[in-house]
Structure formats: C-alpha cells, structure tokens
Structure 1
Amino acid sequence: MTSAQDLSALLHRVARKDRAAFAEVYQATSAKLYGIALRILKRRDIADEVLQEVYVKIWERAADFSPDRASPISWMATIARNRALDEVRRKRPVAIEDHPEVQNFASDDETALAAIMRSEDGRRLADCLTRLEPDRRQMVVLAYCEGLSRDELAAKYGQPVNTIKTWLRRSLASLKGCLGS
C-alpha cells in the first residue's frame, strides 16, 4: 500500500513528466479511481474510457497538486468523480432495462467498490461512515458513490440546496477527521 506521502512524492515526479512515477501512481490508485467511475457510470466500458481520461488529466495537471489543500488520493478521486459526472451529464448511458436479453447473464466478478471496501482504507472508511448520522451517511454515499447532484439530494431530502451543501461539507469534514486519527 502506498502512503499519502509516497503518492505526493510520486505526483511531484509526475509533474516533471517522470513516466516511471506515473506508472507507480497508476498501479497504486487505479482500482480506487476505477471504482469511483464505475459506481457513478454503472457501465464498465464507459468507466474504462473515463479512467483513461482521468489519468491523462493527472499526467497533465500533476503540477497543480498541492498536499496542503488535499491528500493525493482525494485530489485524484475528485478528478475521477468530476469526469464521471461530466460523462453522465453529457450523455445518458443505456440502461440495462433497455436490453432485457442481457439481464440473464450473471457475473462472478467482484465489484470495484467491494474490492476497495476489503482494503484497509475501505474498512477504515466504512467504520468512519458508521459514525455519521444515518441520513448524512446515506447522503454522502448517494453523492459520492451514486453521483447524485446537490439539486437531486435537495429534492430527495426536501431541503434547500445550501443546506445539503452544508451537510455534505460537515459530513466530509467529520470523515476526514476520523480517517486522519
């Protein structure tokens, strides 16, 4: 497992166009970033394409990374999440319900999210999530795993968008504090 300090150092090298460092960043983070994209997009083919674009952005924008503003994985996860959400907004993926003939195929593949949650980081995150109030926990999962917008959350919870924004910010701060301890 690569530490945040190691990832920061690798990203600094990537900013200088170090291909070996980039390969190490990819190896250490691709499962997590793919899990984010797949969870939002729900289609492996589109998630594969988005993941490629995410790493192109990481390569191009590595110099923009600042460990004072965010952890390396948070910075990269934000890029992945935003790119996946852009894809959702750009074109609506075809739903499996539109093709009933493929619904009978079962997959034994473990989901990317399940693989992440089995990792030490995933277990720590799951533990920290249980410390949030149930509605806040669900809201965080809906926003950051399912890709719901603040507007969609506001409609779902019957609250103003600014309230949702505040709840998410406080929940994420709580998670950050929990994960940092």
Structure 2
Amino acid sequence: MAELTDIEGYISRVALGDRQAFASLYDETSAKLFGVALRVLNDRAEAEECTQEVYIRIWKAAGRYQQNGLSPMTWLITIARNRAIDRLRARKSGSSGLDEAGEIPDAGPGPEALAIASSERGRIMMCMSELPDERAEAIRRVYLDGETYNELATHFDVPLNTMRTWLRRGLQKLKECLTR
C-alpha cells in the first residue's frame, strides 16, 4: 500500500501527464474508489463504469489538486462519491427511458416479484418505524442515499463514534424485528 505522500506524488505527476504515475495511482487507489461507488450505487456493473469515469476526471483534474496536509484520499474519494451520487440521481430521474443502445429497457420484475418486494418493503418499513426517528433517518441516509458516517455525524450534531453506535444498534434492532 502506498503512503499518502506517494499518492500525492502520483497526483502531482498525473497533472503533468505522466501515464506511469496514473497507472500507479490507479493500482493503489482503484479498489477503494470502486468500493465507494459500489456502496452508493449498489450495482457492480454501474460501479465499474462509474470508477472508470472517476479516473477520467482525476486525469483531467489532477492539476487542481492542492497539497494541504490533508489526505489525498479524501480528494479522490470525494470525486468518486460525487460521481456515484450524480449517476444515482440520473438513474432516479429516469433520464430518457431508453438504455445506452437506444432500446427500451426490460420492464422489470413480474407481478409475483413485485408482490413479494412490496410485502418485504412493508415489513422493513414497519420495523423502521419502531426505531427512534433520527436513527431511522440516519440508516436511510447512509444505506440508501450513500452519505458517509462523517456527514451524518455533522448533520445530527453527534460525535462520529456515536453515529457508528446508532447505526450498529439500529441495524441490530432491524434484524431482530425482521426475524420475528
């Protein structure tokens, strides 16, 4: 694993058009950035495409990176997270109704699958309603909206470890409720 100073060096060299530095940066950071995209998008193929787009952006934006004593991974993760959220929003808005090949996409699950999903969704919603409002909201925001623990802690004005505890205990209560 590369040191943070190595990653900063790669970014600086990428800004100068160094393809070898770009390859090294990719080797050292792609697994983490793919993980960020996958967590937000919850779709492996889309996360792979997103990660490719992220590295194109990194190639183009490397000259704007400023070494400021903070982790360069924060900068890279922010690019990945923002791109994944952009894709998620585009997916939710349903852009054109056509897939990339210009064909009408598959209509989706059949009536039986929809009925099962609706029943499961109802059970989950019932269990979520048993949680305190702010904890249920935190779980929705982290697992459905892709927010980070730090963002949630800031939003709810609680320490980071408290947020982690809220999420862990909330998920335990959901699991208990769903197994009743």
TM-score normalised by structure 2 residue count: 0.57
1:54 aligns with 2:54: yes
Local SS of the residue matching 2:92 = coil
Question: CA separation of 1:140/1:50 partners in 2, compared to 1, >3 Å: closer, same or farther?
Answer: same
- Distance 1:171-1:36 versus aligned 2 partners, 3 A rule: same
Cα distance between partner residues in 1 of 2:18 and 2:64:
15
- Please list, as runs of the form range in 1=range in 2, the aligned pairs for 1:1-181 lying within 5 A after superposition: 1-68=1-68, 70-92=70-92, 98-99=108-109, 139=138, 142-143=141-142, 146-148=144-146, 165=155, 167=157, 171=160
Q: 8 Å contact 1:33–1:77 — kept in the other structure?
A: yes
Following superposition, the deviation at residue 22 of structure 1 comes to 0.1
SS at match of 1:66: coil
Give the structure-1-normalised TM-score.
0.57
Cα shift at 1:164? 5.1
In structure 2, runs of 5+ residues without a counterpart are 95-107, 114-133, 165-180
Distance change >3 Å, CA 60–CA 171, structure 1 → 2: same
2:6, 2:83 → 1: CA distance?
A: 25
Amino acid at match of 1:165: H
For residues 51-73 of structure 1, what are the alpha-carbon distances to aligned partners after superposition, in whole Å with 9 as ceiling and x for unaligned?
Answer: 11100010000111122163111
Aligned to 1:92, the other structure's residue is in SS state helix
Q: CA RMSD in A?
A: 3.7
Gap change, CA 1:38 and 1:29, over 3 Å in 2: same
Q: Per-residue CA shift, 1:133-157, capped at 9, x if unaligned? A: xx89x949954x653469xx99xxx
* Count of residues in correspondence between the two structures: 125
Structure 1 residue 167 displacement after superposition: 2.8
Distance across 2 between alignment mates of 1:99 and 1:69: 49
Closer/same/farther in 2, CA of residues 141 and 60 from structure 1, 3 Å limit: farther
- Identical-pair percentage: 35
Higher relative contact order (CA 8 A, sep 6+): 1
